[in-house]
Amino acid sequence: MTQDPITLYQSMLTIRECEAQLNDLFAKNLFPGYIHSYLGQEACAVGICSGLNDTDYIVSNHRGRGHYLAKGMALKPMMAEMLGKATGICGGRGGEMHAADPALGILGGNGIVGAGMPIGAGAALAAQMDGLGAVAVVFFGEGASNNGAFGETLNVAAAWKLPLILVCENNLYAEMTPFAETVGQPDVAARATGYGVASEIVDGNDVLAVRAAAGRAVDRARVGAGPTLLELKTYRWGGHFEGDPRKYRTREEEAEWKARCPVARYRRHLVDLGVEEDRLGSLEAVVAAEVAEAVTFALDSPLPPPESALLKVFA
């Protein structure tokens, strides 16, 4: 949990730099599998997680690195996990979509769209039964809100007043499909009312607005007032995955959203507050160096030995 304005910026920068470095590794054919980039959505993860404690839970999805880092996953084991290395946070078994760190309440990502929502409800139920005031957050895309698990989760969360915060990062596209073509009501938050769930629509590119809304939702959850759905309007800068030719949208639209960059916007805010350029520049250099070090660590780490393939297999 961070209250410090500079730490919020550092957290967003770290995500931004990790995404850029991973895209670079992918372009050089040094990344195994696909990358689902989080570029452009940094304010969502940081704004939400900055109000959480280590004892709170998060459940991520297939676009999860921002969530992992914002909740405190260490950079080197995170990066090594992305490359499937033995030094990864899950020993290289999770890879890009399934990193987890239960000690920090990071219950993992998920390649099955929508599947994280009932897991989040389960974590919220566990928190409620423990009675220690912890909350659970589940991140999902607007595409996932068309999945049946969405309705089931909202229903049970409202009926049982679960301490659950449902965070829909509405980045306008589910794979190659514009959201508007799949729904009659473009605001996911509007659906919450029918289930008796509180909701807010938030500018997902404004880290302070996200943080404030998250604070209200977490406060409600901690005092037993039940779940909240936060719809964060945002945009993914990259394709659905790296290499996606993005034929379903225009370069002009992308440029418009890039002009609303959440990282640059918050940087301007810090400058307006009086934070010196030198201080910001030094911080940017430190973050770039830390991420570069993590990439080197991951590249230099060994793959898990083949004889370990059947260890830690539970199903």
Shortest approach of ligand TPP to residue 168 CB, angstroms? 8
Q: How many Cβ atoms from other residues are within 10 Å of residue 224's Cβ?
A: 12
DSSP 305: P
Shortest approach of ligand TPP to residue 248 CB, angstroms? 12
Shortest approach of ligand TPP to residue 114 CB, angstroms? 6
> Quick one: 9 or 173, whose CB is closer to ligand TPP?
173
Residue 86 burial (10 A CB sphere; 0-12, 13-18, 19+): middle
Q: Which residues bind ligand TPP (CB under 6 A)?
A: 62-63, 111-114, 140-144, 171, 173-175, 240
> Quick one: 77 or 116, whose CB is closer to ligand TPP?
116
Q: What is the largest CA-CA distance in the chain?
A: 56
Shortest approach of ligand TPP to residue 260 CB, angstroms? 17
Please identify which residue in the block is written with the tokens 């034929």: 247
Shortest approach of ligand TPP to residue 105 CB, angstroms? 21
Shortest approach of ligand TPP to residue 111 CB, angstroms? 5
> Quick one: 112 or 289, whose CB is closer to ligand TPP?
112
> Quick one: 8 or 172, whose CB is closer to ligand TPP?
172
CA–CA separation, 237 and 270 (whole Å): 23
Encoded tokens for 246: 């993005």
Encoded tokens for 162: 């679960």
Beta bridge partners of 203: 233
Helices (H), the chain: 5-27, 42-49, 65-70, 75-82, 116-130, 148-159, 192-195, 207-222, 251-258, 262-273, 277-300
Q: Please identify the residue of the shown chain whose CB is closest to the bound ligand TPP.
A: 141
> Quick one: 6 or 112, whose CB is closer to ligand TPP?
112
> Quick one: 14 or 60, whose CB is closer to ligand TPP?
60
> Quick one: 65 or 220, whose CB is closer to ligand TPP?
65
**Which of 298, 292, 290, 297 is CA-nearest to residue 11?**
290
Within 13 Å and on the Cβ side, how many CA atoms surround 260? 18
Shortest approach of ligand TPP to residue 231 CB, angstroms? 12
Residue type, 221: A
